[in-house]
Amino acid sequence: MALQWDFFTEDIGDGTTYLDWMLSAWGWTAAVAGLSLLLALVVGAVVGTLRTLPSKPAQIVGTVWTELFRNIPLLVQIFVWYHVVPALIPPMKAVPGFVLVVFGLGFFTSARISEQVRSGIQALPRGQRMAGMALGLTTAQTYRHIILPMAFRIILPPLTSESMGIVKNSAAAFAVSISELTMFSMQATEETSRPIEVYLAVTGLYVVTAAVIYVVMSFIEKRVRVPGFVGPAMGGGH
């Protein structure tokens, strides 16, 4: 069967084509994934750090957060944020659905990143922490200037996987009608009856997105790599 791609240039109203619609959906996918990743990195770094502090309450808070958000299915969390949270907290009704999805995906991913941050910190030799104390730094300053910069260098490879994974997980946003690539592919297939072409095009955009993330993260990894610290498994000095 010959593939037909000309329908992508068909006008579907207001001068918009299926190609325009698909590129717009790609933009929504990138926005959901990008903002969710940013939120996940910030929260994951904080929670992962809490799990390595000498304070028992801090460790409990970090562990509860990680286990809670890691073990509830992503789709359920998105439904909770989209339908339940606004019903329980009236001011949240004014928050756009797009933002609620970012919360759901970001917090879900933060639990995974927190585990990686914890592993990265624990992979460092204890001498790193002691050196900070010897210099008169507080615990917060030691983490900010010594421990976390090193830990993030160590966990860059798994963070690359998380970055690509969050793009795939953003497809769950279609369940609450966010017009991202998966939603586009379902609606466009229904309207055009050309599922092969639509899904090939959408798959290609996902592949391009993943490739860009991989190239960028690989570049960052090479620029900040510390000799002798390839990953958490290398940190046997603690």
Tens-place pLDDT, residues 112-154: 999 999 999 988 887 777 877 788 888 888 888 888 888 888 8
Q: How far apart are the first and last CA of the chain?
A: 61
Of residues 231 and 47, more confidence is placed in 47
pLDDT value of residue 206: 94
Share of the chain above pLDDT 70, in %: 94
Tens-place pLDDT, residues 18-67: 999 999 999 999 999 999 999 999 999 999 999 999 899 999 999 999 99
Tokens of 199: 């899904």
Architecture of domain 6-234: Orthogonal Bundle (1.10)
Q: What is the mean pLDDT of residues 214-231?
A: 76
- The Cα–Cα gap between 101 and 121 comes to 30
pLDDT value of residue 235: 39
- pLDDT of residue 230 exceeding 70, the answer is no
- pLDDT of residue 229 exceeding 70, the answer is no
- Every domain of the chain and the residues it spans: 6-234
